[in-house]
Amino acid sequence: MRAVPVWRTTVDRDRCMGSGVCVALAASLFVLDDERSRAPVEFVAPDETVLDAADSCPARAITVTENGRVIGPRD
């Protein structure tokens, strides 16, 4: 039986500038806390939106990994 892939989302809160881009794109995956973003659910099922959020972040503060391999932001 193959394991279902799981993505891990992390937000570097020191880098975050609170633009709100990620929260507006994916309110279920990001929340603004003290005007900075965090990912309330660390592990999520693969979802293109989380990669979009990582790509769109002006601070490059969001990292998405799959089994330890960085898959977002995409170049």
Would you tell me which residues interact with other proteins (CB under 8 A)? 15, 17-21, 23-25, 27, 32, 35, 52, 55-60, 73, 75
Q: For 46-50, which contacts have Cβ atoms below 8 Å and span 24 or more sequence positions? A: 46/5, 46/6, 46/7, 47/7, 49/25, 50/7, 50/9, 50/26
Provide, rounded to whole angstroms, the least separation between the CB of residue 57 and other proteins.
8
Q: Which is nearer to other proteins, 1 or 35 (CB)?
A: 35
Q: Report, in Å, the least distance between residue 7 CB and other proteins.
A: 17
